Chain A
Amino acid sequence: MKKVLEITNISKSYGNTLAVDNISLTVEEGDFFGFIGPNGAGKSTTINCVLNFIFQDEGHIKVFGLDNIKDSVEIKKHIGFVPGEVFYYDNMKVIDLLYYTQSFHGNIDKELLNKYIKLFNIPLEKEIGELSSGNKKKVAIVQSLLHKPKLLILDEPSSGLDPLMQAVLFKELEEVRKQGTTIFMSSHILSEVQHHCNKVAFIKSGKIIKCGNINDIINRHTRIIKITSNEIDSIKKTLRIKDVEDVTIEDNTLSFIYRNKINQLLKDLTKHNIKDLTIRTPDLDDLFITSYMEE
């Protein structure tokens, strides 16, 4: 697979604050890459470095194999960008803004423009300053897609959008991905990352703490178990230490992560009086919480 975005050992400080600390990640052609982290973790700083809004202090970034600083103009011919918070020219009409921004990429594809206007219900004749944050986000999405970019960089793309519009957005993102666009998306909404991304990176305090294929990271063989019983203490003793992780007891409920064949666990539990039992596959939320609660 061709590497579309290669971040190698980049660091960035603001004064004494290290915002990004020696991070590396690779996005390959066709990936839908989720970039996850809490506020202030370094997601936007990383994106700002990729787009050369700021300069990394160390390391290097390659986009389409080109240097993000030296070849910035060439790279941006093929990039679509949606910022976390949209700041466009307040006194410009939406239609003028779309024509203005597309003029940097050549002539506007009117057919595609009409498609997106309908799809995202864009108020063309309004000035940017009159728009709600959700409508501004929709304009940002449309302007990022109009020139059919090879790489889409999306910083919290669904924030401000209603659930219906979020569904429209992700359907369209899946569509452009099928047509060959690689997507790099930062998000707080873990369910959307889990549903749409094939790869994911977790960033915490400027460092990548997990990165890879989403299926490998979630580990499909792991289960989250919750048992309610009057015999919690004796059940806990029957569990093999190597099979369990993060054991917590609250009232009569025992919760833990189980990493072995489920048959074995069920066999062990038959000896006890169980009031309630839930078994589920962990999701990114679980992973996020355990990763970010750890010091």
Chain B
Amino acid sequence: MKLVKKDLNDNLKGAIIWLSIISLLIIMILALHPIVVTKMNMMNEMLEQFPKEMINALNLENTNFNNILSYFFYEFQFILLASTIYAGILGANIISKEESDKTIQLLYSKPISRLNILLNKIIVVILYLLVFNFTLFTVTTICMLFLGNQNFDYLALLNMYLGLLLTQSTFAFIGIAIATLLKKPKSASTITGGIIMVTFILGIVSKIADKVDNLIYLSPVNYLLEGDFISRGHMEIKYMVILFIMLIIAITVSIRRYDRKDFNL
């Protein structure tokens, strides 16, 4: 518990900064909705000029800007990307920092197993992601209510954040796995961030042409955005399963590798 407490404390500042920025982004996005609604005619005319591929690439194919949840879901892709990068960096850093700062030399000279160190750090990541999503869900709900939208689908919004939690958790564990796999784990967060960006771009590319639509499977960060989320009310089950399998693989790799790893001292 002392290790969890210490790591929660060490990562608090970063969490507050990311949460504040993303909350502010949500407030700004939702505050703009009434203006977007008044400009709908102009926007529809503009969108009609766009080729279908571009509409798909911009995730606009199922978007109804009059519906606040549909509008928010469109903007959510940016929140999804930023939040997933945060989760990936959190996972990678929580493991790599102990090694790159060489403080693992103190921690592991104490009577604690490698598995216990790893599990304590995983608990910290999960706690932060839970708090992160709960806070963002609360901020979004309050903003929507404040803007006079009491009839939106709460369950769909909740599922949106549960989907975000699953995506974040998967990439946090991928970050942890990368940190355990690297001999010099200092660059783990950069590599994880890079993977997230590349897979996000692959997701956009997959929508441009039918020939490459299978690329979406290489873009787990985009799974939540796939298909008509608003009318379905949740993430597609097959993508949830893939994310879950990736998460399990990442945890298994991390545990096996961390238990046999030479610390870089």
Binding site for B on A (CB under 8 A): 48, 51-55, 72-74, 76-77, 79, 81, 83, 87-91, 100-101, 103-105, 143
Contact = CB atoms under 8 A, between A and B. Distances in A.
A48 B113 contact: no
Contacts of A73: 111-113
Contacts of A88: 103, 106
A104 B111 contact: yes
A201 to B, nearest CB: 22
Contacts, number: 55
Which of A54, A87, A90, A91 counts the most chain B CB atoms within 10 A? A87
A54 B102 CA distance: 13
Interface string B1-20: 01000100010000000000
21 contacts: A52-B108, A53-B108, A53-B263, A53-B265, A54-B262, A55-B262, A76-B109, A79-B109, A81-B109, A83-B105, A87-B102, A87-B103, A88-B106, A89-B101, A89-B106, A101-B106, A101-B110, A104-B110, A104-B111, A104-B112, A105-B111
Given A100-B2, A100-B6, A89 B111 contact: no
Contact of A51 (B10, B108, B113): B108
Contacts of A101: 106, 110
Contacts of A72: 113
Which of B6, B109, B113, B265 counts the most chain A CB atoms within 10 A? B109
B100 to A, nearest CB: 10
A48 B10 CA distance: 26
Contact of B104 (A53, A77, A81, A143): A53
A55 B260 contact: yes
Provide the main secondary structure of the chain B interface. Answer: loop
Contacts of A91: 10
A203 B262 CA distance: 22
A91 B97 CA distance: 13
Contacts of A52: 108
A88 B104 CA distance: 9
Interface string B89-128: 0000000000001111110111111000000000000000
Given A87-B101, A100-B6, 16 more contacts: A48-B263, A53-B104, A53-B105, A53-B263, A76-B111, A76-B112, A83-B106, A87-B102, A87-B105, A88-B103, A89-B10, A89-B103, A90-B101, A100-B2, A101-B106, A104-B111
Contacts of B10: 89, 91
A48 B265 contact: yes
Contact of B109 (A51, A55, A74, A89): A51
B108 A87 contact: no
What 6 A-B pairs are tightest by C-beta distance, nearest first?
Answer: A87-B102, A104-B110, A54-B262, A81-B109, A76-B111, A77-B111
B237 to A, nearest CB: 42
A91 B104 CA distance: 15
